[in-house]
Structure 1
């Protein structure tokens, strides 16, 4: 039996390394591809949204191969969720299922301005402490680029079976999650109790179980 394909897309200030704790839980049941977005990890930058979508689309095609008969699920976290959503619209014939966690549909300017002030104040060395594939320049470039993205027109065009997820404590993104779930036909909304924005990192086992329940339903 051919296993489903699962694409995992990291967010800003992260690389594909964020998914390392999930792989032992996921790989017995799904084949995983976890790329580094432009400007992060081993992928050269700068980050450009359309280029990021095109890169993940190429990874998707490579994972699906030419044999047919394989299903593909795409999961994005934070900024990666924005990439995943646009990918599902660009490649509806290839994306069977979509999971977006902490997604922004049209990032509010006030939120981005506050985020920019906070990120510029952080010393450059801090960005690479946990992951050497992250730099201050790459993060600030990505935040500026994401501020130009508007996914509101994309919502009605999503055809994939969609799960929209947001942490209960992620107040900056909860309204956007509700908007995404309302705008995507048939989408389900899951608010994770007592969880923050990057609950995928805080609770890798619970997040992985959720992914498997969506991609490999019993």
Structure 2
């Protein structure tokens, strides 16, 4: 069963690139919801914008056979509360939130794997030396301006569609492979594999994501161009990613020359559902350095 924990975090102040305003310097209190399974080296899992920890469900049990897996709802998504008033949803704020969360649950420098927004946050945690290794699946932040505009426009359209669809229609669409494709084909290459219950739940999560617009606003000029020379880094990209095109993986490799760049054949932007065995193996290999 998911757990919610309240904790304090400290923000350094200032403004991250893309943030419409800085966060007040000092200590704040928030709470996050997370699912924890398995045993072994700790592995933190970070989902993408508009999603929730259940995005990792297809690979959770595989990973939990070898790792102490902590899948968390990011601030303002899933069952986690939004950030306190006055806190921007930028890297400068969310990174210390995640570091403080790990401390609150008794985990020191976990391995981390993230998808999309979660991949960007994972790389930032790696740059801050707050984790042991990083596995980033289609991470944000390696786009050109036109690619960013396309991705953000697509995300806004997905959010708008989720908000406009009547709940009974979402339920009906989820019952057929074609309907699940209507709801989720932007992020999954094989949407028919997602269960009806999961599709309904993540469509509702997108509708109810209180941190959606603030997170997009904070990402308008974010570019990740920092090397992470002292940690094992794996960057993986689905060959059928329709949101963040796979050529961005080449830029990620150029920014982080020591990273292992992995191709995920037949996978979309959220690859955990499309090929659970492959994605789990990539994460386990990437987090095997102890």
TM-score surpassing 0.5? Answer: yes
Q: CA deviation at 1:129?
A: 3.1
Separation in 2 of the partners of 1:58 and 1:20?
24
**Aligned residue in 1 for 2:99:** 57
Deviations 1:151-202 (A, max 9, x none): 22x2x24531111100112263312211111221411101111221111122
Alignment pair present for 1:27 and 2:64:
yes
8 Å contact from structure 2 (residues 42, 107) kept in 1: no
**Aligned residue in 2 for 1:211:** 283
8 Å contact from structure 1 (residues 53, 86) kept in 2: yes
Q: CA deviation at 1:21?
A: 2.7
Separation in 1 of the partners of 2:110 and 2:120?
17
Q: Which residue of 267, 270, 276 maps to 1:198?
A: 270
Q: Which residue of 138, 152, 161 maps to 2:211?
A: 138
Do the aligned partners of residues 120 and 212 (structure 1) sit closer, same or farther apart at CA in structure 2, a change above 3 Å counting?
closer
8 Å contact from structure 1 (residues 102, 167) kept in 2: yes
TM-score, normalisation: structure 2: 0.63
Q: Structure 1 regions of 5+ residues with no counterpart?
A: none
8 Å contact from structure 1 (residues 9, 16) kept in 2: yes
Separation in 2 of the partners of 1:185 and 1:86?
16
Do the aligned partners of residues 53 and 12 (structure 1) sit closer, same or farther apart at CA in structure 2, a change above 3 Å counting?
same
Do the aligned partners of residues 77 and 158 (structure 1) sit closer, same or farther apart at CA in structure 2, a change above 3 Å counting?
farther
Task: Let me know the Cα RMSD of the aligned residues.
Answer: 2.8
**Aligned residue in 2 for 1:122:** 161
Separation in 2 of the partners of 1:136 and 1:211?
27
**Aligned residue in 2 for 1:188:** 260
- Return the structure number with greater helix share: 1
Do the aligned partners of residues 112 and 21 (structure 1) sit closer, same or farther apart at CA in structure 2, a change above 3 Å counting?
closer
8 Å contact from structure 2 (residues 46, 53) kept in 1: yes
8 Å contact from structure 1 (residues 159, 185) kept in 2: no
8 Å contact from structure 1 (residues 7, 34) kept in 2: yes
Q: CA deviation at 1:100?
A: 0.5
Q: CA deviation at 1:114?
A: 2.8
Q: Structure 2 regions of 5+ residues with no counterpart?
A: 1-38, 171-182, 184-198
How many equivalent pairs are there?
Answer: 209
Do the aligned partners of residues 190 and 62 (structure 1) sit closer, same or farther apart at CA in structure 2, a change above 3 Å counting?
same
Q: CA deviation at 1:24?
A: 1.4
Deviations 1:73-96 (A, max 9, x none): 111101111111111112x1x422
Deviations 1:115-163 (A, max 9, x none): 25523541415699323444265333322222232222x2x24531111
Separation in 1 of the partners of 2:288 and 2:52?
25
Q: List, as ranges, runs of 4+ consecutive aligned residues in structure 1 with deviation greater than 4 Å.
A: 62-66, 125-128
Q: CA deviation at 1:63?
A: 5.3
Separation in 1 of the partners of 2:133 and 2:67?
13
Alignment pair present for 1:161 and 2:200:
no
- Return the structure number with greater strand share: 2
Q: Which residue of 42, 45, 50 maps to 1:5?
A: 42
